[in-house]
Amino acid sequence: MDLSDIEWQGEKGEPSMNCPFCGHEDDRVIDSRPTDEGNAIRRRRECGSCLKRYTTYEKVESIPLMIIKKDNTRQPFSRDKLLNGIMRACEKRPISINEMDKLVDDIELELQNTLQREVTSKQIGEMVMTRLKKLDDVAYVRFASVYRQFKDINTFLDELNTLLKEKT
């Protein structure tokens, strides 16, 4: 791309960035491309005054999501907390961190797509269990035992028997 083909941001009526070097308001975008993760746009800019280049990132602002706990308290959704719970359930299982990350991505995307600002921890737990059941039986049972707070060995066996019936 030839730099002479690029219009100055101010000329098109679009907002421009202040140069981090000289503070000048006019810049031009030299290159735009999605980030590797695909969740942001990376823009290389050049200042109209000092001609130094810098990078900015444009990201879609997501709706903050609150989790309603069993005791009716609320706390912000934490991707890390969800991933840590899944990692504990998948410990020493043949499940890659990429698979676990994808599972969390799927849940997070589903939650964002509902456009609800609040969701119960029960809904999230059920979403995790549904996905873990397809991924690994042992990880599913581990997660279910903590999530459903199995009281004794009989409750645990009931869950295992249900899982075995579904598999046959």
Give Cα 155 distance to the centre of its chain.
Answer: 33
pTM for the complete prediction?
0.60
| pLDDT of 76 | 94
Coil, helix or strand at residue 155:
helix
If one counts every other C-beta atom within 10 angstroms of the C-beta of residue 103, the result is 22
Q: Using 50, 70 and 90 to split pLDDT, how confident is the model at 85?
A: very high
pLDDT for 21 beyond 80: yes
pLDDT digits (tens, 9 = 90+) for 39-77: 789 999 999 999 999 999 888 776 789 999 999 999 999
Two structure tokens written together for 19: 């140069």
Cα 11–14–20 angle (5° rounding)? 95
Instruction: Kindly tell me if the per-residue pLDDT of 7 is higher than 80.
Output: no
- In this structure, the number of other CB atoms found within 10 A of the CB of residue 91 comes to 11
Whether 8 has a pLDDT exceeding 80, the answer reads: no
